[in-house]
């Protein structure tokens, strides 16, 4: 943005922080098992593309995706999802759209497992401003590498 309009520059900074907060809440709500908060982070429906992990990309009702995540992740006795390196790019023609690229480091621990299941990669968080704030309308997960068994013991 190349503008001298102070109000517009401040709005862009506030929008960037709000977007990053949503992306971080994605990770922290999983770890806390706070599925009510997790659901609020998405539009309804939401486009999910986890095809690099073998799940076909699809438009899903928000509650269906939240239920899927809850069912899959609560099988682990502990989870830690880190979400660093946020790069927010605003749409040049629509100030209510942006993409936040972020790294992903996700550890999953099962009580009796020999080792944790660890995923490393990144996300493309396609964001849209709604009446309730910024929300993820399209989520694409890119896997760089994984370690361990993806099924809890």
Domain containing 20 — which CATH number?
Answer: 3.10.450.50
User: How far apart, in whole angstroms, are the C-alpha atoms of residue 150 and residue 102?
Assistant: 22
> Is-contact 105 118, C-beta < 8 A?
yes
* pLDDT of residue 150 exceeding 80: yes
23 belongs to a structural domain? yes
Q: What is the pLDDT of residues 98-143, one digit of tens each?
A: 999 999 999 999 998 889 999 999 999 999 999 999 999 999 999 9
Question: What's the domain count of the chain?
Answer: 1
Q: What is the pLDDT of residues 68-105, one digit of tens each?
A: 999 999 999 999 999 999 999 999 999 999 999 999 99
Structural domain harbouring 72 = 6-147
């Amino acid at each position: 943005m190349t503008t001298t309009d102070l109000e517009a520059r401040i709005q862009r900074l506030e929008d960037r922080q709000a977007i990053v907060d949503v992306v971080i809440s994605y990770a922290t709500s999983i770890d806390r098992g706070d599925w009510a908060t997790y659901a609020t982070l998405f539009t309804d429906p939401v486009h999910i593309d986890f095809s690099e992990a073998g799940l076909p990309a699809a438009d899903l009702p928000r509650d269906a995706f939240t239920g899927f995540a809850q069912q899959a992740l609560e099988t682990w006795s502990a989870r830690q999802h880190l979400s660093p390196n946020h790069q927010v790019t605003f749409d040049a023609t629509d100030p209510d759209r942006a993409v936040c690229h972020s790294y992903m480091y996700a550890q999953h621990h099962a009580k009796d497992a020999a080792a944790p299941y660890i995923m490393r990669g990144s996300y493309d968080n396609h964001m849209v401003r709604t009446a309730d704030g910024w929300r993820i309308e399209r989520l694409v997960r890119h896997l760089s590498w994984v370690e361990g068994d993806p099924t809890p013991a």
